[in-house]
């Protein structure tokens, strides 16, 4: 300890004084930050430019674009969650975080509309699959997005390249195509390059506020989760809507050869793996 070393040198100083000095010098307790990219794709900058071009095109044409992603899965029940809240007593949770003690899982799929600063979360209760991701946006469009953009001729979705909206799988494209047919709108997808998921707009402008609204609170019931997430807001106007999707989604679905052959996805000439359109 620094106070003990100073005492040994003949200059005893209390811990509180040392803490104040360290704070004034900007030397505080800090968490490890996940700032270092795990790598860099050679086409990273070019794809970022392409996404910016698409966003400009959609906004100029009066068409909507959305940033979407799945927030980390959490367990439902009286299990410990990080964070602190003001109160006259502490919440009580189990002394161990065994998944078997949970009452279920909470899988928040987020959709953020940067043009109006509105976020929406569909809470899944089973698995994060491509079908869940597409059903989530389908629900959102039918009840919120489509009402806001009645004259839309095309929809742009920006998302990372992994997880339930993976750029590498046929099954996501198959489910996307089915969604496009059901909605009756062209849906364009632009994936962020590898190692760049944190650049997705939803990760910077929506999810942090959802996390802040829920920090230190128990996810003991699904009603509690919905109420907490609905509180996510900012002084600049962000507001949040929440819905629960109770359908069970099966893991391990793979695209059949028939699905692959019947896909009518239109791929761009520039980085077709990351940029493509589903037509109704």
What was the pLDDT predicted at 35? Answer: 65
- Tell me the per-residue pLDDT of 34-82, one tens digit each, with 9 for 90 and over: 666 667 788 999 999 999 999 999 999 999 999 999 999 999 999 999 9
* Tally of CB atoms within 10 A around 130: 22
**Residues 5-22, mean pLDDT to the nearest whole number:** 78
CA–CA separation, 203 and 3 (whole Å): 42
Q: Which of 79, 170, 58, 159 is nearest to 111 (CA)?
A: 159
Domains along the chain with CATH numbers: 1-30 (no CATH), 42-278 (3.30.420.10)
**Residues 84-111, mean pLDDT to the nearest whole number:** 93
What was the pLDDT predicted at 17? Answer: 82
What was the pLDDT predicted at 7? Answer: 75
Please report which helix (H) or strand (E) contains residue 57, including its range: helix 44-60
- Model confidence, pTM: 0.87
97 vs 154, higher pLDDT: 154
**Residues 109-136, mean pLDDT to the nearest whole number:** 98
Q: Per 3-state DSSP, what percentage of the chain is helix, strand, and coil (rounded to 5)?
A: 35, 20, 45
DSSP letters of 98-137? -GGGSSEEEEEEEEEETTTTEEEEEEESS---HHHHHHHH
- Tell me the per-residue pLDDT of 202-231, one tens digit each, with 9 for 90 and over: 999 999 999 999 999 999 999 999 999 999
């Amino acid at each position: 300890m620094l106070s003990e070393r100073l005492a040994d040198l003949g200059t005893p100083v209390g811990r509180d004084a040392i803490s104040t000095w360290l704070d004034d010098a900007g030397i505080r307790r800090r968490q490890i930050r996940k700032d270092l990219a795990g790598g860099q794709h050679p086409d990273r900058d070019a794809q970022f430019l392409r996404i910016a071009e698409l966003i400009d095109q959609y906004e100029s044409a009066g068409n909507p674009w959305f940033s979407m992603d799945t927030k980390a899965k959490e367990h439902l029940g009286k299990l410990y969650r990080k964070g602190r809240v003001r109160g006259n007593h502490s919440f009580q949770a189990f002394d161990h975080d065994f998944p078997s003690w949970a009452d279920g899982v909470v899988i928040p799929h987020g959709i953020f509309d940067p043009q109006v600063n509105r976020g929406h979360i569909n809470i899944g209760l089973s698995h994060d699959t491509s079908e869940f991701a597409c059903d989530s946006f389908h629900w959102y469009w039918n009840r919120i997005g489509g009402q806001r953009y009645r004259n839309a001729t095309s929809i742009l979705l920006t998302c990372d390249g992994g997880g339930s909206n993976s750029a590498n799988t046929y099954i996501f494209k198959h489910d996307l195509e089915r969604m496009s047919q059901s909605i009756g709108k062209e849906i364009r997808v632009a994936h962020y390059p590898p190692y760049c998921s944190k650049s997705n707009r939803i990760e910077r402008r929506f999810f942090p506020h959802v996390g802040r609204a829920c920090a230190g609170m128990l996810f003991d019931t699904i009603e509690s989760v919905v109420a907490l997430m609905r509180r996510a807001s900012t002084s600049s106007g962000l507001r949040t809507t929440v819905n629960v999707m109770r359908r069970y989604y099966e893991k391990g679905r793979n695209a059949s050869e028939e699905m692959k052959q019947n896909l009518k996805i239109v791929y761009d000439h520039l980085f077709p793996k990351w940029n493509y359109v589903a037509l109704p």
